[in-house]
């Protein structure tokens, strides 16, 4: 069986992204390595042992391939990644109190309730909660 082990999200600034994804969103650091070159290799994941085999790589997102792609995705209002939450309204309120910008607040989207936030490093992220 093939399973997802790691995926990545392009970010403008890896240390800034690391702070946002851990201090604001609540992920934990899984890997933080200095591989030389000035930008650390950092992965984060769900806290408290949830999804231990799944990591999110905070990938440096500059360059001739990444820049146009990221700009087009952001300007189209498309989320770079989707995270699931148990209680969307509570997370929305908590994150707004921390100053997180939401281009789209909670709304009904078929089988889920969803909201879209700006991660401060060039991406939109969708939070979803299954209905029922």
Write b or e for each residue in 77-86: b if 16 or more Cβ atoms lie within 10 A of its Cβ, otherwise e. eebbeeeebe
- Residue 118: which CATH number? 3.10.180.10
Same domain, 108 and 128: yes
Q: Convert the pLDDT of each residue in 30-64 to its tens digit.
A: 999 988 878 889 999 999 888 999 999 999 988 88
Same domain, 32 and 11: yes
Q: What is d(CA 78, CA 37) in angstroms, rounded to the nearest whole number?
A: 31
Same domain, 54 and 97: no
Please give the model's pTM, rounded to 2 decimal places. 0.93
Burial of 111 (0-12, 13-18, 19+ CB in 10 A): exposed
Q: Which residue has the tokens 């000035």?
A: 38
Classify residue 70: in a domain, yes or no: no
Structure tokens given for 68: 């146009």
Q: What is d(CA 68, CA 108) in angstroms, rounded to the nearest whole number?
A: 31
Q: What is d(CA 132, CA 72) in angstroms, rounded to the nearest whole number?
A: 34
Domain holding 128, by residue range, is 75-132
Q: Convert the pLDDT of each residue in 66-101 to its tens digit.
A: 899 999 999 999 999 999 999 999 999 999 999 999
């Amino acid at each position: 069986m093939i399973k997802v082990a790691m995926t990545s999200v392009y970010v403008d600034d890896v240390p800034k992204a690391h702070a946002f994804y851990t201090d604001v969103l609540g992920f934990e650091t899984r890997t933080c390595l200095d591989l030389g070159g000035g930008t650390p290799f950092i992965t984060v994941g769900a806290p408290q042992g949830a999804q231990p085999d799944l990591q999110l790589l905070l990938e440096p997102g500059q360059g001739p391939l990444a820049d146009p792609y990221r700009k087009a995705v952001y300007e189209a209002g498309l989320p770079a990644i989707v995270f699931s939450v148990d209680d969307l309204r509570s997370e929305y309120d908590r994150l707004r109190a921390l100053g997180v910008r939401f281009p789209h607040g909670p709304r009904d989207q078929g089988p889920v309730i969803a909201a879209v936030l700006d991660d401060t490093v060039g991406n939109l992220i969708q939070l979803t909660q299954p209905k029922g």
